[in-house]
Chains A and B, each alone.
Chain A
Amino acid sequence: MIISPAFSSTLPLALVASSLLPGLIIFALAEESVRLRTALNLLGALSKLLLVALMLWGVYHDAAFETRFELLPGLPLILRADALSLLFITLSAQLWFLTTIYAVGYLEESPHRSRFFGFFSLCVTATVGVAMAGNLLTFILFYEMLTLSTYPLVVHRGTPVARRAGEAYLLYTVLGGVLLLLGAVWLYTLTGTLEFRPQGIVSDLDVGDHKALIIIFVLLMGGLGVKAALLPLHGWLPKAMVAPAPVSALLHAVAVVKAGAFGIVRVVYDIFGIQFAATLGVMMPLAWLASATIIYGSVRALFQDDLKRRLAYSTVSQVSYIALGVALVGPIASVGGLVHLVHQGLMKITLFFCAGNLAETLGIHRISEMNGVARRMPWTMAAFTVASLGMIGVPPVAGFISKWYLGLGAMEVGADWVLLVLAGSSALNALYFLPILYRAWFLEPEGDWPQERHYPRAETSLALLIPPVITASLALAAGLLASVPFSPQEWAKLVVVREFLDP
């Protein structure tokens, strides 16, 4: 496929600008400019989808998209689209579009909408930057931009609880950022470059540097593990649940935790090189940590009555599947980890959209209040049911595909104990999701709903209803049609072939 150099270097910039420019304009808009703000948001989201589609086609046919600026001597700012970055970008672009529609409906009557949507766009810009970063410096810049742009979203409601949650979020993420920066500086002193390359940049170093490399790995994982909510750095995530539902969806499915998990993948693949990282002996401890997080998150989820907190602990558990897949050091497990990046996003955003619908329409925040809610909101609960079953790993929903590849990958590398972790996690997921479904579908409602609102055309506002129905359908399609070209599974295989087997 022949693409002109000017076009291939412009496209990454255009992708970043597609959310940055609308965001900056939205900041300047008056609160009353609802139509213009919505139009700008949707225009940005749609243009990003179009650009992503172009890049997907190009990268599939081995085209290169790269932009470089000299930021510091020998340290350029690089934006590059490869198969791995597009896996993440496609997810975030699709979900940003749907979350924008949802947020427009969710924040219909709330104040400070221009501020909200401005930071919302900046957050997606930062996510795209993280995904397309061609070196660790660019990655860190956008990673910190993500921290700063999501903080105002977490504290958007301005309540004391929201502010405390915001403080916790900043505390964790800034400390994580410091660790990341420390690791990057140290790495630069050893290698003289921070550029991401297939098979990494450290394998040529002397054996004497290996001890330092291990510490750098720990520092980088510490920095990334905060956003990826690895044990014991996960504490900010359940706290951040006070944020509005679209922000929770953004934190859990589109941007923040995914940026951490994606960073782990990038550092392991393109800084250390997965085989070299395995010879350093750092991958198995990462696999143990990920496994411990998987089980811990699920056990903690069991004890939560607050729906969003239960979902938050579920995220703590589920995101570590990505780290586990990579840490097992095998192509099949890597497919499982990478594909879960997308699958978890689709399923978890559905769950948060539904939780938001229940809160907005009926005032339901607790699981104990959900008796019979499926009779009042059948479409919302149908979407919730599909996503829950997917989280458990019930086929043909997408979560099954992830677990299948993780299980196979574990067998491939002789880590049979991972099957027990997967089984334990699935059993725990069933324990904390199925009782919710039982309450919602089979129990009688207990009197009136806490704060019921009526909508003339459907069970809730269409802007709130359509996004979860679409994401649930996508989660089902991603599993059922997993072998269709350009599906998450097929794209993850492409990534593994290019990054792992044939770099």
Chain B
Amino acid sequence: MTVSLPTFHWPLDTVLLGSGLAAGPLDWVLLATLAILWLIFGLWLLRGPAPVRRGRTLVLHAVAGLGLAVAALARDAALFYSGVAMAGYGTVALLLIAHGAAHARTAAVQVALMVLGDLVLFEMLVSLYSQASSAEFDELRTAYAIKGQGVSFVSALLVVTGGSKVAVLLLLVPVTDRLPAWRPGAASGLLCVALVSGVLPVVRLVDPLLSSASARYSLLAIPAAAIFLCLLFALCILGKSRLDAAAQRVSTLASRSVTLGVRGLATLEALARHVAPMAAALEQRMLSWPFAVAAAATLALLLAMTFGGLVA
């Protein structure tokens, strides 16, 4: 006996850029997986770490869950992007409620990864849309097939997007004591986010069946990018002294280059701090009458010269 899963297509012409939801057999499997994982996540949230403010937790859980469902069933880039944003930010907020302010740094890193992933995803989708002239995934896939062959800009964007989204899952691993790890109960929620916003773009944009070499390479590259990004953020948090110490252990050359990099960042920061009051002072000076008179006189002179030149 064979069981055939129903398919549906629900056009949403007035939503965002003109969208639609649809589900084929594989999408039902994905949706069921997400539903189970999300339910487990919800039970953990309600039973464990956040006994207070259950109302807010429930609302956020529903919003983020809706985002996951929308992203999983979306047939166009804009709706997918909306779903990813709702799911991602909603999940971070839930974890912050569950873990409290002690995990703020972890949440900040996660938000930074999300923002990075969203920005890169935006660039990639805009780039593909400009080729395809449509936000539909079927059209974008054709555009990807043209622009995303081999080591291309678009394929790099895809890997960075996926990597930054999957990296949120790695925050379950204690990378450093200054970046407290999420509790293991968060795994199912974070896995949902990583699946939908990290891996699903490959399915939607490269190959729905993941049978092509391009899709397989992307899927392999995404975890590598995730580990790299996670370590990068951890290194940033560890700060200059530990960075220097670690780099010295690796090799003198690496130590020198990294220290130079850190010094460069410190210089940039100092420059920014130095420039901020100067900019404020400049604005203050521009508000004075002498400045206005001088500006008006200069303008009059310029106009006179221009008129003179034109008449001549």
Contact = CB atoms under 8 A, between A and B. Distances in A.
Interface of A: 168, 171, 175, 178-179, 182, 211-212, 215, 232, 235-236, 238-239, 299-300, 303, 389, 392-396, 400-401, 403-404, 407-408, 411-412, 419, 422-423, 426-427, 430, 434, 438, 441-444, 479-484
B96 A442 contact: yes
Given A401-B17, A438-B104, 11 more contacts: A389-B89, A392-B115, A394-B85, A407-B122, A411-B127, A423-B119, A426-B115, A426-B119, A442-B97, A444-B101, A480-B16
Contacts of B118: 394
A128 B16 CA distance: 29
Contacts of B107: 438
B126 A419 contact: yes
Interface residues of B, number: 43
A395 B85 contact: yes
Given A396-B82, A408-B130, A182 B303 contact: yes
Contact of A404 (B15, B78, B295): B78
Most chain A beta-carbon contacts within 10 A, residue among B101, B119, B299: B119
B287 interface: yes
Contacts, number: 107
Nearest to A485: B14
Contacts of B286: 232, 235
Nearest to B100: A442
Contact of B126 (A168, A215, A408, A479): A408
Nearest to A442: B96
Interface of B: 13-18, 78, 81-82, 85, 89, 93, 96-97, 101, 104, 107-108, 111, 115, 118-119, 122-123, 126-127, 129-130, 272, 276, 279, 283, 286-287, 289, 292, 295-296, 299, 303, 306, 309-310
B15 A483 contact: yes
Leading 6 A-B pairs by shortest Cβ distance: A411-B130, A395-B82, A407-B126, A396-B82, A235-B283, A484-B14
B289 to A, nearest CB: 7
Contacts of A299: 272
Contacts of B126: 404, 407-408, 411, 419
Contacts of A236: 287
Contact of B104 (A235, A392, A403, A442): A442
14 contacts: A171-B287, A171-B289, A232-B286, A235-B286, A394-B89, A395-B16, A395-B82, A403-B122, A404-B78, A407-B126, A423-B119, A444-B101, A483-B13, A483-B15
Most chain B beta-carbon contacts within 10 A, residue among A232, A299, A396, A401: A396
Most chain A beta-carbon contacts within 10 A, residue among B85, B97, B127, B295: B85
Nearest to B299: A179
A419 B157 CA distance: 13
Contact of B81 (A211, A389, A395): A395
A211 B310 contact: yes
Contact of A423 (B89, B111, B122): B122
A171 B296 CA distance: 11
Most chain B beta-carbon contacts within 10 A, residue among A236, A239, A483: A483
Nearest to A174: B292
Contacts of A408: 126, 129-130
A308 B58 CA distance: 32
A396 B17 CA distance: 10
B16 A479 contact: yes
Contacts of B289: 171
Contacts of A215: 303, 306
